[in-house]
Structure 1
Amino acid sequence: MRKLIFNIAFVLLLPVGTVHAQADFATRLTDRLSTFYARHIPVKLHLFFNQPAYHPGDTAYFHISFLTAEGYKGFSGRQIIDVALVDDKNVPVVRQQVLVRDGFGYNQVAIPASLDPGNYTVTAYSDWMKNYDPELIYHTSLSILSGKELLEKRIYSTAFYPEGGNLIQQVSNKVVMMGTPGAKYSIVTAQGKEILTCTPDSTGLGVFYLTPQPGEQYFATANGALRTALPTSTDTGINLLLTPATAGGSLRIVLQAGTQTLREAGDKAYIIISAHGTAYYSAAIAFGANRTGVVSIPTAGLPAGVARATVFRDDATVLAERLFFVEEASPVQIMTTFDQQTYGTREKVTIKLHVNDPQGGKARLRVRVFQKDLFPQASAHLPRHPLQLSGELPYTAYRRYATAPANVFDNFLVTQHERLFSWPEVWNNTRAEEIHNFRTGLSFSGRAYRRNSSGPLPDSTHLTFFLQEDVMTYAIYPRSDGTFNFPLLNDFVGDDKVYYRADRKGVIQKDIAVDFGQKDTIPAMTTDAIYRETADHAAYGTFAEQQKVIEQAYGFAKRAPVQHYEKVNPHAFLEEEIFSPDVTINLRDYLLFPDMEETLREIIPFVQHRWHDKQHVVRMYITDLEVMGTEDPVYMIDGVLTDNTDYFMSLKPDEVATIKVVCTWEKLRTFGQIGKNGMVLVETTIPDNARNVPVPRNMVTVKGITPTATLPQTVNPKADRRYPQIKAALYWNPELTTNDMGDATISFYTPDNTGTYSIQIDGITYSGKPVFASDTFSVVFQPALVQQR
């Protein structure tokens, strides 16, 4: 931590205040801040998509970064991130779990073809992030377009934010207001006397200066509308006026104390400049009679991104605070060099990339290329990288100002406050330990309950869960309230079906059900706009619809040859886990009987059938225990686990290929209580019979790790020219690492649709600096070039 550098200036040439060296309070606060952040680690998430907007039925490919807020370092090892596509009612359309290794990964969201066009939200979070303000969960907007353009109607509310947090009496206060763009607001007294007017700009922000008088309340009116009260003024606290610095320059802060802020001679205030859990500058200030000072702070020692200036009393009471943005002193540049600037259709494009970082050029990049004409909303310039804002500010708040000029963005920051922690939590060490941890593997959580009553579970209720595809069994005792949570030994990919069973003292409890529900609810995102389709054509939506028509019309050119596959044993993985069944019967080797009842009696060993109260009853003899099962076995029919004996008995022997029996406890114990009465594996000859097998009510589908799909195909220059290759997204590389000099080369072929194309590069250097760059090139139709080919 460094001491502040002060240039003391005086308002109206009043006597000088005194600036003291760093005091004990500042040292203690700094130490406590470091201790606090050692336990409460702030993180950042960022998703970068392969194109700016999508159409129903598209696949949205993305890269994901999960980093520390301090230094932008990837979290080592495995992390599981929840990703969801959410509609405007905060209802998840798609939910998935994405595996990230060492802080980086990539995956995709398959957008349902039936999805209505609109403005959707992609949310992503680690369980750890749920310990903090839910508004800091990562969100980003995703437009899903049909052939019509989406029109945004923003909802504006009126609010006022004094810089520093308080409206200090008898000094000039900067106030940032939010309101309807272009509307004229009058600031009036309680008696209706107009003091000034303010008109918000196109972003909805307005700025005015107000010197409140003691005992006076102020209001804002616009066009005769209801009055909105400004914050009540006070004579305690400090007025903080901050002038942001240019990159590498100095920050200027004017401090003006209220008349009752420093009551005794020698009272001091303390200023702390902090970011990401580190205090970078601190000092004590003893105000003179003028109660005013000007502080100059070099920003060269501050990390780029959101920081905050806080003024305290020595009892840790916050007198003033505001967020501000620090520009990168040595910005990283990415240079793109094309082998030419204009290309013909189906011509090779080669681009050399160079990352120019003064601290070392090596970087992790992701690159997307898309037709610029189709995505007019795509920003080609990012004055602030999303990583610098993610995890610091709510997305709904900053998304409209992320690309705004520096002065507008600085005014916006006046309206925001620190959300990760409060200073009393740091000073008094009162924040509870995090209840959510980083998630490195899959887990099951839920609640067991009685189906027909609200009473508690019987004592010693035992639950067994069997994952059908993963062939894993888990046995637990739930808590007294029926809830449970346990980690899985192995991750599984894609969806799996879980069959569960409740027992008490070895006896099945059929009235007990298990509710997995969703792992949790999607953190809600407030919205300040509504969207509707207009009569105007959306460039990409129209293109996507025409592209589908073209693909259907020319589909003959790319039909794959018919391939013949051998029938796959649907139980192969299970049989491998138990080292083969105990008995395998191929019914084709026998004279078939008319029904399963006779087949079991005459052909299948160790399995017996009888009738009881006009119901089928099947029992299996467990050979190595030399006991008869007390209940029906479970059945695996064409890869589907079921406990429906009636369906098993209804099968026609001439439609059954094989029946396999698992009847030794040595193998059955793999399945715990679920397999205690034996298992019958049935493979039929009925086409697609898996969909006909009754799914038991104690079977649920659960989501595992979302598998990574094959990256989208690029243009094939050797493909038949009779079949058009039309692409809006031309190239996607989610993992491109430069060499130590910062160099990398990419190449791809142009499509048959001509126009201006944009290449956008997003990434982070190994020195921990986010980077973004954009460039363009053109694709034109060149008949001569086509004829040469």
Structure 2
Amino acid sequence: MKQKLIITCLIWLSCSFVVYSQDTTFAGKAIGALKGFLSSHAAEKAYLHFDKPYYAAGDTMYFKAYVTMGQRHEPSQISGVLHVDLINTQNKIDQSLLLNISGGVAKGDFALPDSLPKGNYRVRAYTDWMRNNGVTGFFDQPFALGSLLANKISESGDRNQQQTPGKPEIQFLPEGGSLVSGIKSKIAFKAIGSNGLGIAAKGIIADNTGKIITSFASTHLGMGWFYLEPEDGKSYSANLTFADGTQNAINLPDAEKQGTTLAANNDSIQKISVVITANNTAYLQNKGKDYSLLIYSGGAVTVVTSPLDSPVIKFDIAKHRLHTGVATLTLFSPNGEPISERLFFVQNYDDLRLAVNSDKAAYATREKVIIKLNAKNRADSLIAGSFSVSVADENKVPVDENTENTLLSNLLLTSDLKGNVEQPNYYFTNVTDEKLKELDLVMLTHGYRQFEWKQLLNNGYPPVTWQPETGLEISGIAKTTGGKPLAKGMVTLISAKGHSFLSEQTDNNGNFRFKNMVFADTTRFILQAATAKGGNSTQLTYTAKTGPPVLPDNRQTIQDNNGPISLYLKNTEKQQEQLNKQGLGKGTMLNEVTIKARKSEPSAMSARYGFPDHVLHGKEIGLGSQLAIKLMWRIPGVEILSGDGIHYYAKLRNKLTGGKPKPMRIVLDGMEMPLGFDLNSLSAVTIDKIESMVNTGDSDTAGVLAITTKYGLQPEDIVSTGFLRIKANGFYKAREFYSPKYESTVPGKFADLRTTIYWNPNVITDKDGNASFSYFNADGKGTYRIVIEGIDAEGNLGRQVYRYKVE
């Protein structure tokens, strides 16, 4: 038997590397393939820190997004746009936001209507770049929503109440991936109840002759393990009983007659002990041949190659150079086939050290609180970082810390594993040796999400189809009036104010794209197209971007307004009663009203251009498609002219510049059009009114023609040539969290019943690692809980929970 101590010499895959003398030709090939994959498919992750773990209808949900790149979680420089969706109980998107990612962070919020039914909702966040790896890599977090409308349920009923209870299930997973005859192996298992959560299970293992080999019982959240040494010619089954009394018999995976296994003991903080075992048949066939073990951690890899000169080879791998998080061991056969893989978790305690201090040990209600934060890294160096802070009244918002999805549990654990990890924060709070062993069960019962060696070595990953969004985009298709693609035409994008223009040439298929734009919320634009010869006989289609599909989610949060939600709703009810007393209640919801007309705003128009000299209403214009012809001789003092018999413009009579008529400025629905705007690009049937203004006070213009279109028309009712009005979703501007200021700690006429006491998504430590913030307590007495999460420029993560008393 051989035993070696391996001091991991990590090869960084983000830069050039040297294949060590240990490496074989295959090892170099494997590292090259991995390097190429990580370069072309660089990992990007998103995590959202919320102000509370659950909400009531009528609340505002505040959050900060952390977007990281690579396996070291550095603030992402890949994407500039984050898509965030609020998904309802029917797996439909209720609200969507576009957030501007700056320095790897963004902030946002959702106003939750008070009409929402109770149930399990989700928030999903992703970038376009993440879509290359499918929706399973998105941030996707369920949350419980309670409602005072106890009898109101969503259309078709609450999804959770419709679920048909199923039977518990169990999976048996041999360490390293397979059983081999003659080798004693650890077999992990995970039992899952009908609600999708772990369920206790116990039973016996028997062979095909009925002989009992061993017994087993779960130890944590339905997970456990036992040892089995399979014999040639025998099969094995488990007879088990679940905690709910259900019984079942399950066949274990068949054992291979010839093979090699990979086992690891990860109980030690300092090292992981690896054992490679070949059964007799495999040893005789491969004696002296080289096996390679690839250790992958935090975006770096090292290779250990050893000849099989003994049936059992042992390695002790020092972990101090590995990176905290999920790491992999992969064993490759002499011919370069991945034959066994083992996940393990590295806990090097290298997260940021956040020191939180309050100016007092205990406070009064409505008293000012001053909190100081100091951040250091593992080397005890002071760091500048970006943090978010939530403060909640824990008596009103009790939380099970084990079930929380945190910055650490998400980026270091769950985002790298397939399937649902139950109670993820359990493994990051008050860490003990026992918890580390239970975390190893998670490694044994979940697959690795980032890549698979067989696909990687065989170039089995599809090419990148989604490119990073660095800004917003408006795209579409331009065609001729005959329906043919407008090749090499020019499309102009005009801003709402009419002062900003962008132009792009269409490709041979008529496609156009305006990229890397920045604008806020829902913004109105006009698209205008012209042929290569300057003609406007074109048709435009705006291609609104579609999001990825919403997959069903079976994770459980609540079934009814019970437990913590019940306590939370009692406070919500008190808040509503108090608002009603103040005359600020929500009132009665009206039925939907369809607006058929739009109120005119003469003050806004007159402030910009003066009062109209003449108004021509749409009913006076009459029907017809060519507006210019309809307007000839209809507006006093205004002439409708054409320079080429095709394009028409308006000018004031007898007003010339340099011997040539000067066009009037056209203002369409409040937006100034570029000079040369063709009146025939509008259809007469769409016009509500036209106002002419002669004295605009601008010596550079020859008057203004303000055109207002009808409000109630649908896009398909409007015949337009050469231009298209659109509304595009821009970057969302997050609401500021309201935090009251009090001059006295004496309770006022109305109680302060806030549940979120303070929310700040933008706490920045200086070069000395210091930051401070302050706020005022509410009227609730008891324990207030501060949660601080954040990241520095090098990808070091930090989280701290701090509590104080309010008396």
Aligned residue in 2 for 1:636: 668
Q: Distance in 2 between matches of 1:72 and 1:301?
A: 17
Does 2:79 match 1:55?
Answer: no
Whether the 8 Å contact between 1:125 and 1:137 is mirrored in structure 2 is: yes
Does 2:778 match 1:773?
Answer: no
Aligned residue in 2 for 1:713: 738
In the alignment, which of 592, 596, 620 is matched to residue 597 of structure 1?
620
Q: CA deviation at 1:283?
A: 1.5
In the alignment, which of 322, 345, 350 is matched to residue 302 of structure 1?
322
User: Aligned AA for 2:685?
Assistant: D
Deviates most, 499-508 or 440-449: 499-508
Q: Distance in 2 between matches of 1:692 and 1:660?
A: 29
What is the SS of the residue equivalent to 1:420? coil
Q: Distance in 2 between matches of 1:6 and 1:594?
A: 86
Does 2:155 match 1:125?
Answer: no
Whether the 8 Å contact between 1:316 and 1:423 is mirrored in structure 2 is: no
Does 2:175 match 1:163?
Answer: yes
Does 2:417 match 1:393?
Answer: yes
Q: CA deviation at 1:439?
A: 0.8
In the alignment, which of 346, 355, 366 is matched to residue 346 of structure 1?
366
Q: CA deviation at 1:210?
A: 1.8
Aligned residue in 2 for 1:256: 277
TM-score w.r.t. the length of structure 2 is 0.75
Alignment of 1:221-232 (within 5 A): 221-222=239-240, 227-232=249-254
Q: Distance in 1 between matches of 2:336 and 2:701?
A: 66
Offset from partner CA, 1:572-616 (integer Å, 9 cap, x none) = 9xx9xxxxxxxx7844x56x889863899xxxxx965279xxxx9
Aligned residue in 2 for 1:212: 230
Q: Distance in 2 between matches of 1:22 and 1:214?
A: 35
Aligned residue in 1 for 2:519: 492
Q: CA deviation at 1:134?
A: 3.1
Aligned residue in 1 for 2:377: 357
Is the alpha carbon distance of 1:637 and 1:271 closer, same or farther for their aligned partners in structure 2, counting shifts above 3 Å? Answer: closer
Aligned residue in 1 for 2:303: 282
Alignment of 1:203-602 (within 5 A): 203-222=221-240, 227-247=249-269, 249-262=270-283, 263-279=285-301, 281-289=302-310, 291-359=311-379, 360-362=381-383, 363-379=385-401, 384-389=408-413, 391-394=415-418, 396-404=419-427, 405-427=435-457, 431-445=461-475, 458-460=484-486, 469=496, 471=498, 477=506, 484=511, 486-488=513-515, 490-497=517-524, 508=537, 514=541, 516=543, 518-522=545-549, 524=551, 526-529=553-556, 531-534=558-561, 538-555=566-583, 569=604, 586-587=611-612, 589=613, 597=620
Q: CA deviation at 1:469?
A: 3.3
Is the alpha carbon distance of 1:503 and 1:624 closer, same or farther for their aligned partners in structure 2, counting shifts above 3 Å? Answer: closer
Q: CA deviation at 1:326?
A: 0.4
Is the alpha carbon distance of 1:749 and 1:270 closer, same or farther for their aligned partners in structure 2, counting shifts above 3 Å? Answer: same
Is the alpha carbon distance of 1:571 and 1:206 closer, same or farther for their aligned partners in structure 2, counting shifts above 3 Å? Answer: farther
TM-score w.r.t. the length of structure 1 is 0.77
Q: CA deviation at 1:39?
A: 2.9
Q: Distance in 2 between matches of 1:535 and 1:768?
A: 39
Is the alpha carbon distance of 1:635 and 1:67 closer, same or farther for their aligned partners in structure 2, counting shifts above 3 Å? Answer: same
Q: CA deviation at 1:238?
A: 2.7
Whether the 8 Å contact between 1:593 and 1:599 is mirrored in structure 2 is: no
Aligned residue in 2 for 1:5: 5
Whether the 8 Å contact between 2:266 and 2:273 is mirrored in structure 1 is: yes
- How many percent identity over aligned positions? 20
Is the alpha carbon distance of 1:492 and 1:226 closer, same or farther for their aligned partners in structure 2, counting shifts above 3 Å? Answer: same
Q: CA deviation at 1:186?
A: 4.2
Deviates most, 304-313 or 751-760: 751-760
Is the alpha carbon distance of 1:597 and 1:239 closer, same or farther for their aligned partners in structure 2, counting shifts above 3 Å? Answer: same
User: Aligned AA for 2:416?
Assistant: E
Aligned residue in 2 for 1:36: 37
Deviates most, 122-131 or 412-421: 412-421
Q: CA deviation at 1:161?
A: 1.4
Offset from partner CA, 1:63-101 (integer Å, 9 cap, x none) = 111122343222348611111112344321111211111
Q: CA deviation at 1:330?
A: 4.1
Gaps of 5+ in 2: 8-20, 152-157, 193-198, 428-434, 586-600, 651-664, 674-680, 719-723
Deviates most, 147-156 or 93-102: 147-156
Q: Distance in 1 between matches of 2:296 and 2:621?
A: 81
- The alignment yields a C-alpha RMSD, in angstroms, of 4.5
Whether the 8 Å contact between 1:272 and 1:309 is mirrored in structure 2 is: yes
Offset from partner CA, 1:446-475 (integer Å, 9 cap, x none) = 678999xxxx95354779575663755666
What is the SS of the residue equivalent to 2:201? coil
Q: CA deviation at 1:758?
A: 0.2
Is the alpha carbon distance of 1:477 and 1:679 closer, same or farther for their aligned partners in structure 2, counting shifts above 3 Å? Answer: farther
Offset from partner CA, 1:660-681 (integer Å, 9 cap, x none) = 999xxx999xxxxxxxxx9952
Q: Distance in 2 between matches of 1:530 and 1:365?
A: 27
Whether the 8 Å contact between 1:322 and 1:417 is mirrored in structure 2 is: no
Gaps of 5+ in 1: 8-19, 558-565, 576-583, 601-605, 669-677, 684-688, 781-789
Offset from partner CA, 1:547-582 (integer Å, 9 cap, x none) = 13312322579xxxxxxxx9763699xx9xxxxxxx
Q: CA deviation at 1:195?
A: 3.7
Q: CA deviation at 1:121?
A: 1.7
Whether the 8 Å contact between 2:75 and 2:104 is mirrored in structure 1 is: yes
Q: Distance in 1 between matches of 2:639 and 2:235?
A: 87
What is the SS of the residue equivalent to 2:304? strand
Is the alpha carbon distance of 1:277 and 1:744 closer, same or farther for their aligned partners in structure 2, counting shifts above 3 Å? Answer: closer
Offset from partner CA, 1:502-531 (integer Å, 9 cap, x none) = 88895757xx78473542324536424485
Aligned residue in 2 for 1:86: 87
Q: CA deviation at 1:388?
A: 1.1
Whether the 8 Å contact between 1:331 and 1:357 is mirrored in structure 2 is: yes
Deviates most, 92-101 or 217-226: 217-226
Whether the 8 Å contact between 2:693 and 2:704 is mirrored in structure 1 is: no
Q: Distance in 1 between matches of 2:572 and 2:263?
A: 51
Q: CA deviation at 1:401?
A: 3.7
Is the alpha carbon distance of 1:214 and 1:526 closer, same or farther for their aligned partners in structure 2, counting shifts above 3 Å? Answer: farther
Q: Distance in 1 between matches of 2:238 and 2:542?
A: 52
User: Aligned AA for 2:95?
Assistant: V
Whether the 8 Å contact between 1:56 and 1:114 is mirrored in structure 2 is: yes
Whether the 8 Å contact between 1:368 and 1:732 is mirrored in structure 2 is: yes
Is the alpha carbon distance of 1:74 and 1:464 closer, same or farther for their aligned partners in structure 2, counting shifts above 3 Å? Answer: same
Whether the 8 Å contact between 1:621 and 1:627 is mirrored in structure 2 is: no
Q: Distance in 2 between matches of 1:242 and 1:703?
A: 54
Q: Distance in 1 between matches of 2:726 and 2:213?
A: 64
Q: Distance in 1 between matches of 2:319 and 2:740?
A: 47
Whether the 8 Å contact between 1:189 and 1:219 is mirrored in structure 2 is: yes
Q: Distance in 1 between matches of 2:186 and 2:740?
A: 56
Whether the 8 Å contact between 2:469 and 2:516 is mirrored in structure 1 is: no
Q: CA deviation at 1:325?
A: 0.7
Whether the 8 Å contact between 1:159 and 1:178 is mirrored in structure 2 is: yes
Q: Distance in 1 between matches of 2:215 and 2:129?
A: 46
User: Aligned AA for 2:438?
Assistant: V
Offset from partner CA, 1:714-755 (integer Å, 9 cap, x none) = 122049932433211111111212233322222111112223
Whether the 8 Å contact between 1:316 and 1:424 is mirrored in structure 2 is: no
Aligned residue in 1 for 2:653: none
Query: What is the number of equivalent residue pairs in this alignment?
Result: 702
Whether the 8 Å contact between 1:635 and 1:643 is mirrored in structure 2 is: no
Is the alpha carbon distance of 1:504 and 1:639 closer, same or farther for their aligned partners in structure 2, counting shifts above 3 Å? Answer: closer
